[in-house]
Amino acid sequence: MKEFLFVGLGGAVGAMLRYGMSMVPVKSEFPYMTLLINFLGAVAIGILAALSMRQALLTEHSLLLLKTGVCGGFTTFSTFSLEAVSLLEQHKTGMGITYILSSVLLCLLGVLLGKAMLHPL
């Protein structure tokens, strides 16, 4: 039961962080803020993955709080998916494909960057 509390608390913090960032005005049809949020979340989860590989740096509860909770609540695959579909439905095909590819590639690079910051490849 305690594990659910750690995930829930972290998820609430992550969701509030995401909401706060989404309030920053961006004058563009391109969903830059979601891309930035997901990239930052990918870097953070890479750092946490690297830290968890080192003995006793993170407990199981701290991983549940930070990785599953905060990162899970902060990043948003569903918003990314909705924005990508919306761009395609609005016949902004180039922008939609650019968004999809840049999101996937930047988030993969973000995880690698986060891991490399603490654990060289």
CA dihedral 37, 39, 41, 46 (to 10 degrees): -170
Residues placed in the known binding site for Na(+): 72, 75
State the Cα–Cα distance between residues 69 and 77, nearest whole angstrom.
15
Residues placed in the known binding site: 72, 75
